[in-house]
Chain A
Amino acid sequence: MSLNRRDIENIARLARLALTEQEIPVYVEGLSRIMGLVGELDRADTRQVEPMAHPLPGQRQRLRADAITETDQHALYQRNAPQVEAGLYLVPRVIE
């Protein structure tokens, strides 16, 4: 299955990835190749099976007790933050 330039631009937008003009054809080619590989899946008759979301059968979600186990560690966690002020993570103005 082949993708075109427009497809790549849309995907990149959804994925929030800036692409240069030079990169676009590279990804068009690359993704088209990959989707060509993926096309082989059509060979399989999957009418009688359910999609497998988890590899181990019969598992169910464990529930944890409703208890507060965390403390305020924002000073430690914010050491990795690019821009912080008054405890808030800063980003360019978001207009709503």
Chain B
Amino acid sequence: MDWESVIGLEIHAQLATRSKIFSGSATAYGAPPNAQASLIDLAYPGVLPVLNAEAVRMAVKFGLAINAHITRRSIFARKNYFYPDLPKGYQISQYELPIVSGGAVDIVLEDGSVKRIDVTRAHLEEDAGKSLHEGLAGLTGVDLNRAGTPLIEIVSEPAMRSAREAVAYLKKIHTLVRYLQICDGNMQEGSFRCDANVSVRRRGSDKLGTRAEIKNLNSFRFVEKAINYEIARQVELLEGGGQVVQETRLYDADRGETRSMRSKEEANDYRYFPDPDLLPVEIDQLYIDSVCSTLPELPDQKAQRLRHDYGLSAYDAGVLTSSAELADYYETVLERAADFPGIAISPKLAANTVIGELAGLLNRDGVEIGDSRVAPAALARLLARIADDTISGKLAKDVLEAMWEQGKEPDAIIEERGWRQITDESAIEAAIDAVMAANPAQLAQYRSGKDKLFGFFVGQTMKATQGKANPARLNELLKKKLSG
């Protein structure tokens, strides 16, 4: 039985406004319980909502960035249900007329091909508060600091066909909202959350299977695992003659499985109706044009430009543009490369070093690219020393690490450690001679046809020169000498 999985994602991104969507409370993360809950956030009797202009602007920005339609007259609606973290007993959201509809993003699949994922809609709504269950003697504590934080809910079409595609889409949106500076994308703090709708069907069928919604996915890794688990679960269920129940499930990271959410057994009738306390939001072309003019260079455009200007691969361009800050860092490195006329620092070398060695250090120490302990200019100086053969590429990692730890210049480190590459041919030849003399058996074997032993001689000579022999020269000279 050949099964196809159908996945749609609902992403909730907290908008990075200073104040909440309907009240003047601060939105900053980490305040003491209920310190940022005003009378409006607490749903006190008699209070009324007033809409934050910046939330609207950010939503429109997002819509424009995904080439969506911006609704000229959008409506806020009440979604009615009871839950302790929902003080009004309803959430102000958008139902029939969301501010953004349609649109799409492109994702790059593993084989390098590009797939377009359509977005159904994106709308504005308010976030709920938080419930805490620990240490409260069998009770639940409600903190409404988060209640009223503006959210944009982005709903994709059920266009993804694998967990990998879903993660690629999620990452793309994640990158995009950060580029637009409308969301900080912090999944641990909950400012970027995702629910996955997963169903399966026989391959070739055009009917959708019953879907399950998986909530509580707060890392890319969990999203992938949860979706894969769920696909397998549904397939097993169906193959065993069972039926998939339409329900909400939670991902249990400890067990690596999804399970049914007990408290949401009853279907909720949300009784949506237009919120009478809020008037229609009217957006005209002038407003749209002004927001459009503030759009930064978007990830796809930037990646295109890097490929065009620097001949980078799609993969490299993709990684470098995964954040605007990283791309800026990279471009600055290349700009500083112009400080070294006569030395050709290849964009590929720069890309490899940034994506490889530098990223490794950033991850190891949990540092953001903006706080990198090696500035672009310093990195450029390191790259210059590789490009002009002062050091071998293999030692680049060590020099960089020393720069990172000690804040010293590459030249100083190279001198201190004596890491200058040996390019002098006579010195290399001398080393080769010594190795050949010390290994007559292998020499004989090589000369009688065992070509694989070339690597052995390379290794031995490198060892003899403490890794400082210039690899290209070494290879050249070794070939000559070994063949007699």
Give chain A's interface residues, CB within 8 Å of chain B.
14, 16, 53-54, 59-70, 72-74, 77-78, 83, 85-96
Give chain B's interface residues, CB within 8 Å of chain A.
17-19, 23-26, 31-39, 42, 44, 50-56, 75-76, 82-84, 131-133, 136, 138-144, 250, 261-263, 269, 271, 274, 276, 278-282
What is the distance, in angstroms, from A10's C-beta to the closest C-beta of chain B?
9
Distance A66 CA – B24 CA, assembled complex (angstroms): 8
What is the distance, in angstroms, from A43's C-beta to the closest C-beta of chain B?
23
Pick from B56, B143, B250, B271: contact of A96, CB below 8 A.
B250
Pick from B38, B84, B132: contact of A70, CB below 8 A.
B38
The answer to whether A95 and B53 touch (CB under 8 A), given A61-B280, A88-B33, is no
Residues of B close to A53: CB separation below 8 A = 75, 274, 276
Residues of B close to A69: CB separation below 8 A = 19, 24
Are the C-beta atoms of A66 and B131 separated by less than 8 Å? no
Are the C-beta atoms of B139 and A77 separated by less than 8 Å? no
Chain B residue at minimum C-beta to C-beta distance from A16? B82
Are the C-beta atoms of A60 and B282 separated by less than 8 Å? yes
Pick from B53, B142, B281: contact of A88, CB below 8 A.
B142
Are the C-beta atoms of A63 and B33 separated by less than 8 Å? no
Are the C-beta atoms of B25 and A63 separated by less than 8 Å? no
Chain A residue at minimum C-beta to C-beta distance from B281? A61
Residues of B close to A63: CB separation below 8 A = 51-53, 56
Chain A residue at minimum C-beta to C-beta distance from B83? A94
Are the C-beta atoms of B261 and A88 separated by less than 8 Å? no
Are the C-beta atoms of B282 and A61 separated by less than 8 Å? yes
Chain A residue at minimum C-beta to C-beta distance from B271? A14
Distance A87 CA – B263 CA, assembled complex (angstroms): 25
The answer to whether A87 and B33 touch (CB under 8 A), given A61-B282, A64-B53, is yes
Residues of B close to A61: CB separation below 8 A = 51, 76, 278-282
The answer to whether A54 and B276 touch (CB under 8 A), given A16-B82, A91-B84, is yes
What is the distance, in angstroms, from A7's C-beta to the closest C-beta of chain B?
13
